[in-house]
Amino acid sequence: MHFEREFTVARSRAQVAALLDDDATIESLLPGTTITPRGDGSRETRTPSPLGQARDIRFLFRRESRDSLCFEKICDGNIWRSLDGEVRLEELGTDRTRVLLRMEGRTRTLVPELTIRGPLRDQIEQMTKALRMRLEGGGL
């Protein structure tokens, strides 16, 4: 499954990149999240499972370049084989930046993708809305 969303903000690429480096931006993508910096420059997030399961939902976020923030789910449960994504920035002049949010996932063998397509689509919509609000009104 592959989902992409994009939008444009009236900020320079440097301003948007600085906001992507802020823990508050990552926390806004996954409500209820706590962030733990790792020694390799990446950040691990832990979000309580909305289904009441004992296992937290965990992601790793890392900067690939000045224009890209990548993330991947630590797939230690029964649903996902892999789930990763990226926030990519594209400069559109001096004061406008295109933001592309991409997520791609594969479910485990016995989990039909059709059953998880809707929740994943809802997740990327929620993340896009939160990211847009943060980048349009978040300081700097």
Digit-coded pLDDT (tens) for 4-15: 999 999 999 999
Enter the pTM of the model: 0.87
One-letter identity of residue 117: R
One-letter identity of residue 27: E
- Give 83-130 pLDDT, tens digit per residue: 999 999 999 988 999 999 999 999 998 888 888 899 889 999 999 999
Count of domains for the chain: 1
CA distance 27 to 56: 15
- CATH number at 81 reads 3.30.530.20
Residues in Cβ contact with 110 at an 8 Å cutoff, skipping those fewer than 6 apart:
none
- Kindly state the average pLDDT of the residues 69-80: 88
- Give 13-70 pLDDT, tens digit per residue: 999 999 998 889 999 988 888 898 887 878 999 888 766 566 678 899 998 888 899 9
pLDDT at 140 over 60: no
CA distance 58 to 2: 20
83 contacts 3 by C-beta, under 8 angstroms: no
**For residue 61, how many other CB atoms are within 10 A of its CB?**
22
Outline where 2-140 has alpha helix (H). 13-20, 23-29, 113-137
Residues in Cβ contact with 108 at an 8 Å cutoff, skipping those fewer than 6 apart:
78, 79, 80, 81
Q: Which residues span the domain enclosing 94? A: 2-137
Residue 131 binned pLDDT confidence (cut-offs 50, 70, 90):
very high
